[in-house]
Chain A
């Protein structure tokens, strides 16, 4: 099936690390994404990881992928108030064989609240 699950809410103190978790169901996922949505805005791509990688680091962001458990996490180091937003996990799955297409399945989003 096609399903991506995330916890809906996370609260952290400014300066601490945030870890947002995601589980997905489709083992054929090729890429996995983290998008950020700020209030009143569209989604912006934060980072992505190819399914044959275990980890990807990009400045304050670390993505960990456990393909066996179909678990993806996003760690934000030194979380700032500007990181307050909704974070969406998405998996890219392929349908239709060699002439087919990739499709993104989104989770419901995790609202990150950063407090002083």
Chain B
């Protein structure tokens, strides 16, 4: 069955380290998204991509970067991890860019702790 996976599921790192979170989907969706989830804030969009080599900043993109070299993967990199980036990170994908239903399908999440 097609799915969306994230790895690792849990990660502990130190301040200043570079960290990369992986997201892989097998639906062949063009659109992929990264969110962070924090208490009281719901989900906030970090970066998104509408296709290979396309990347866009979301509302909380500072300190994060993404690259899209193929349809299936959108890795999220924290260049120099900060304690404020301790959070749960969700990857999502959707099949359409515009038009009708914009449903997004979510991965299981990665819990990142920055010490």
B-contacting residues of A (Cβ < 8 Å)?
4, 8, 30-31, 33, 35, 40-45, 48, 88, 92, 94, 99-104, 106-109
Which B residue sits closest to A88, measured CB to CB?
Answer: B42
- For B94-105 the 0/1 string (1 means CB < 8 A from A) is 001111111111
State the 8 A-B residue pairs at the shortest beta-carbon distance, nearest first.
A42-B106, A108-B42, A102-B102, A106-B43, A43-B106, A92-B102, A106-B42, A42-B108
- Residues of B near A99 (CB, < 8 A) are 98
Is B34 close to A, CB under 8 A?
no
B40 touches A108 (CB 8 A): yes
Name which of A42, A43, A44, A107 has the most chain B CB atoms within 10 A of its CB: A42
Distance of A104 Cα from B59 Cα, bound (Å): 12
